[in-house]
């Protein structure tokens, strides 16, 4: 039996639909679903994903610690570095973006929505990679599963981070996270 998502999750989904669509259709991600995907194109996508994902994951984890929140966020960046290493590629060094303003709990909720939402899409990509490039292709980054009910619990956590009237800050955080991720892919994709 499916329950409807909490109000904040619905608002985030609706308010970021266009940004999510644009990111899903970025060439660095779109090629991963192509039946003609090559290992070289896959490697180019991973090289672009590394700095984009690192910036978002590192910021979210840093802000969770700074705000003293008791949220557990699985680190996927080491899996992405391992996938690159398995392809014989180095993970690009990442500069910490300290110019960004500190997050409020509400804006962090929006950023966390983007970060954790990417895990859902990763399952689809992992299945496609196995079919296209074979079972031996390194894809640990895309394969970190969510246990049953985990996404619903995460949405409830996001809801709890926002006080009444703060959903605009959560939406702004999510939109900014999508925009920064998209910019990183534009900057680093050499497809």
Around Cβ 96, how many Cβ atoms within 10 Å?
11
Q: How confident is the model at residue 182 (pLDDT cuts 50, 70, 90)?
A: very high
1, pLDDT greater than 50: no
Query: What pLDDT score was predicted for residue 52?
Result: 95
| Domain limits for position 161 | 7-188
pLDDT given for residue 99 in this prediction: 60
85-99, 120-134, 162-176: which has the minimum mean pLDDT? 85-99
Mean per-residue pLDDT for 11-25? 97
Q: Is residue 147 part of a domain?
A: yes
**Domain containing 112 — which CATH number?**
1.20.910.10
Task: Answer yes or no: is 2 within a domain.
Answer: no
Is the confidence at residue 49, as pLDDT, over 70? yes
Least confident of 33-42, 45-54, 98-107, 173-182: 98-107
CA dist., res. 23 & res. 26, Å (int): 5
Give the mean pLDDT of 71-89: 96
CA distance 71 to 159: 13
pLDDT at 37 over 70: yes
Domain count, the chain: 1
Examine residue 1 and state whether it is found in any structural domain, yes or no.
no
Alpha helix segments (H runs only) across 74-104: 77-86
This prediction has a pTM of 0.93
Look at residue 116 in the predicted model and tell me its pLDDT.
Answer: 95
pLDDT of residue 94: 72
Helix (H) or strand (E) holding 47: helix 39-66
| Residue 76 lies inside a defined structural domain of this protein | yes
Burial class (CB in 10 A: 0-12, 13-18, 19+), 163: exposed
The two structure tokens encoding residue 138: 């390194």
Residue % of the chain over a pLDDT of 70: 95
pLDDT at 5: 77
Domain membership of residue 172 (yes or no) is yes
Tokens, residue 105: 């709990």
Q: Average pLDDT of the chain?
A: 92
Would 106 be classed as within a structural domain?
yes
> What mean pLDDT do residues 127-146 have?
94
Alpha-carbon gap, residue 52 to 63, rounded angstroms: 17
Residue 56 lies in a domain: yes
179: Cβ–Cβ under 8 A, 6 or more apart, which residues?
Answer: 19
């Amino acid at each position: 039996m499916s329950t409807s998502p909490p109000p904040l999750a619905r608002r985030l989904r609706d308010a970021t639909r266009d940004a999510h669509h644009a990111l899903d259709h970025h060439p660095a991600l779109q090629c991963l679903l192509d039946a003609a995907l090559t290992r070289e194109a896959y490697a180019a996508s991973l090289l672009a994903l590394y700095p984009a994902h690192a910036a978002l994951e590192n910021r979210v984890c840093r802000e969770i610690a700074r705000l003293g929140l008791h949220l557990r966020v699985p680190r996927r960046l080491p899996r992405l570095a391992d996938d690159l290493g398995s392809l014989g590629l180095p993970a690009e060094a990442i500069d910490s973006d300290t110019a960004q303003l500190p997050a409020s709990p509400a804006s962090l909720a929006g950023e966390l929505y983007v970060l954790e939402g990417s895990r859902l899409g990763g399952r689809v990509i992992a299945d496609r990679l196995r079919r296209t490039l074979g079972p031996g292709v390194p894809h640990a980054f895309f394969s970190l599963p969510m246990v049953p009910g985990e996404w619903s619990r995460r949405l409830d956590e996001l809801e709890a981070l926002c006080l009444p009237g703060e959903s605009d800050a959560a939406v702004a955080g999510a939109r900014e996270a999508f925009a920064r991720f998209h910019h990183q892919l534009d900057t680093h994709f050499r497809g």
